[in-house]
Amino acid sequence: MPTIGWFEILIIVAIAIVILGPKDFPIMLKKVGSWIGAAKKQINNIQNEVSNIDLDENKIKKEEDKKDES
């Protein structure tokens, strides 16, 4: 997977400042930051739910195995 270096980030920032203007650039950075934060929160919630489902399934399997042994 290709990585983005500092030079590429600098070019993207420079283009964004030219397109948005220096006045609106900080506002856009805040919005993008909040979007990224919200996306990370949603991904974390999904991962936690999947982990809980896996734990519940394992617990059910263990209980069924105990019943079968009896």
Count how many domains the chain has.
1
Q: Cα separation of 67 and 59, whole Å?
A: 13
Residue 61 binned pLDDT confidence (cut-offs 50, 70, 90): confident
- Give the three-class secondary structure for 52: helix
For residue range 16-38, what is the model confidence (pLDDT) as tens digits?
999 999 899 999 999 999 999 99
In this predicted structure, the answer to whether residue 70 has a pLDDT above a threshold of 70 is no
| Mean pLDDT over the full length of the chain | 87
Q: Evaluate whether 25 touches 16 at the Cβ level (below 8 Å).
A: yes
In this predicted structure, the answer to whether residue 49 has a pLDDT above a threshold of 80 is yes
13 within a domain of the structure (yes/no): no
14 within a domain of the structure (yes/no): no
pLDDT value for 17: 92
Q: Evaluate whether 28 touches 20 at the Cβ level (below 8 Å).
A: yes
29 within a domain of the structure (yes/no): yes
65 within a domain of the structure (yes/no): yes
Buried/exposed 42-66: b ≥16 CB within 10 Å, e otherwise: eeeeeeeeeeeeeeeeeeeeeeeee
Average pLDDT of span 7-19 = 93
